[in-house]
A and B are shown apart, each in its own frame.
Chain A
Amino acid sequence: MWILNFLTSSLGKKLIMSLTGLFLIIFLLVHLIGNLQLLFGDNGEAFNVYAKFMTTNPLIKTTSYGLYFFILLHIVQGIVIWLTNKSAKQSRYAVAPKNTSWASSNMATLGIIITVFLAIHLWQFWFKMKIGAIPPVNIGGEEYTNLYAVVHEAYQNIFFVIFYVVSMVVIGLHLSHGFQSAFQSLGLNHKKYTPLIKGMGIAYSILIPLGFAIIPVWMYMMH
C-alpha cells in the first residue's frame, strides 16, 4: 500500500511528527488561554464553568479524543525515530561535535521528560475529574465539579510548584527546536518567511511556558 510505505518512510515519519507537533502547539495556546482563568481571583467560578464546558461540549469532546490520539502518536513515533536514529549512528565521537543546538539533538530526552510530566499532570487533575473523585460546587444555582479547588490545593505545595515550573522549562526547550523544525519537515523553508517562523518559534517557546509557569507560582504566592 503506497500510503503505508509513505507513512513508514523516514520522511513520512517526520511528516507525522510535524503535523502532530503543530496540533499540540496549537493545543498549548488554547490550554493556556483557558487556564489563565485560574488567576481571576473569583474563587475559581470562571474556571469551573469553563472546565464544565470543555468536558461536556460535544465538539470539544470529539477534538479531545483527537488530542489523546495525537499525543500518543507523537510519543510513539518519536520513540520509534529515536531508536532508529540511535542505531543509524551506532558509535559516538570521542570529541563531541558542537554543531547543533543542545535542544535539537536532545529532543527525545526532552520528550521523555515531558511524557513523565504529562502522566503526573493528567493523573493529578484530568484522571481525578474523569473518575468523579472531585467534589461538586454550587455556582449560580447550578452544580459544577470543583476542579479549581483541586488545582488550588496542589499549588499550595511548593514541590508541585517547582515541578511545574521546571517542566515548563523542558517544554520550552522542546518547543524551541520543535516549532521551527515542524515547518522544515513540511518542506516550508524559504528566505522570505523562515526568519519569521524562527522568530515566532523563539517567542512561542518562551511565552507559552512562561504563561503556564506563572499560574502555579501566582497561586502559591496568593494562597
Chain B
Amino acid sequence: MKLTLKVWRQKSKDHKGSFENHQVEADDHMSFLEMMDVLNERLISNKAEPVAFSHDCREGICGTCNMVINGKPHGPSKGTTVCQLHMREFKDGDVIVIEPWRAAAFPVIKDLVVDRSSFDRIIQAGGYISVNTGQAQDANAIPIEKDTAAQAMDAATCIGCGACVAACPNASAMLFTSAKVNHLALLPQGQVESSRRVRAMVKQMDEEGFGACSNTGACEVECPKEISITNIAAMNRMYMGAVIGAQDQV
C-alpha cells in the first residue's frame, strides 16, 4: 500500500517544528514502527536526516514508542502501543498524520521524541516501597483478597508511556500517578507508606506542570493498558484522607 505521511519534524526543544510530507510503500504485515523504519532507511540512503522516534521492546510492554497518529495516542487500535499497531489498520492511499506527545511537561527533544523524565521524578517522589533488606518472601505468606490483588494488578499494568497525558486536553498526569499510587497502596507491603506516598507524588505531579484533571475520561480511552479512571477517584479519596489525617508534612 502507498501511504502519505505527514510527520512532525523538530530539530530540538528550542526549534520550532513543522510537518514534513513523505510517501511510503508498506505492506499489511508490517508494524507501524517497521513502516517508520522503511521510511528512515530511505532517508538515510538519500543522505537525509532520519525521523527520530523512540522505541525499545517492540512488544507492547516498555511504553517507549510514543506517537500521536491521526489525533490518537498510539494510533487507532484500542489497547495497544504503536509497536503493536499493524499496517493492516490502514488502507492504500491513506494520509497519516504523526505527531509527538504534546504537553508542557513532555518537551520535544527531537521530531517525535519527547522528554518524559517528569514521570521519573513523580516515581522518585514516592512510587516505591522502602524495604531494602531480606529475601523476597513466599508468595502466599500474606493473604490478599483476590479482588484486591486483581485491582492492584490492573493498576500495575501501567507502562508509564504517557498516552494519558498526551490524550488529556489538560495534559494531566492523573491516570499515570493514580495507577502508580494505587497499585502500591492496595497491597500490604505498599500500604504502610501510602499516606506519605500519595502526597509526595501529587506534589511532584503539580510541580512538573501537568494540568488538573477535569474528568473528561480521554485518558482511559487512549491508555494502551486500558487503565480505568476509577483509579483517579481512588487517588482523590486517598489524597484527601492523607492530607487531613497525616501527622507529618510532605
User: Interface on A for B, CB 8 Å cutoff?
Assistant: 2, 6, 9-15, 81, 84-85, 87-101, 104-105, 107, 177, 180-181, 184-191
Select one of A15, A100, A180, A190 contacting B169, CB under 8 A.
A100
User: Is there contact, CB below 8 Å, between B206 and A99?
Assistant: no
- Specify the chain A residue showing the minimal Cβ separation from B169: A105
The bracket for how many chain B residues form the interface is 35 or more
CB B101 to nearest CB in A, in angstroms, measures 10
Select one of B71, B105, B239 contacting A93, CB under 8 A.
B71
Q: Which residues of A contact B214 (CB under 8 A)?
A: 14, 81, 85, 104-105, 107, 181
- Specify the chain B residue showing the minimal Cβ separation from A3: B243
Question: Which one of B47-55, B129-137, B184-192, B216-224 is at the A interface?
Answer: B216-224
Q: Is B172 an interface residue (CB 8 A)?
A: yes
User: Is there contact, CB below 8 Å, between A85 and B233?
Assistant: no
Q: Which residues of B contact A107 (CB under 8 A)?
A: 214
CB A11 to nearest CB in B, in angstroms, measures 5
Q: List 28 A-B contacts (CB under 8 A).
A: A2-B243, A10-B205, A10-B210, A14-B212, A85-B169, A85-B170, A85-B212, A85-B214, A87-B104, A88-B104, A88-B172, A89-B103, A89-B169, A89-B171, A89-B211, A90-B104, A93-B71, A94-B6, A94-B19, A94-B97, A97-B222, A99-B221, A99-B222, A105-B216, A105-B218, A177-B215, A185-B236, A188-B233
Smallest CB-CB A-B distances: 6 pairs: A187-B237, A189-B233, A88-B211, A95-B71, A85-B170, A187-B236
User: Is there contact, CB below 8 Å, between A184 and B233?
Assistant: yes
CB within 8 Å for A100 and B103 given contacts A84-B211, A84-B212, A189-B233:
no
Q: Which residues of B contact A96 (CB under 8 A)?
A: 71
User: Is there contact, CB below 8 Å, between B172 and A85?
Assistant: yes
CB A14 to nearest CB in B, in angstroms, measures 6
Select one of A10, A89, A94, A191 contacting B202, CB under 8 A.
A10
User: Residue-by-residue, is B31-44 near A (CB-CB < 8 Å gives 1, otherwise 0)?
Assistant: 00000000000000
- Specify the chain A residue showing the minimal Cβ separation from B232: A184
CB B68 to nearest CB in A, in angstroms, measures 6
Q: Which residues of B contact A101 (CB under 8 A)?
A: 216
User: Is there contact, CB below 8 Å, between B104 and A89?
Assistant: yes
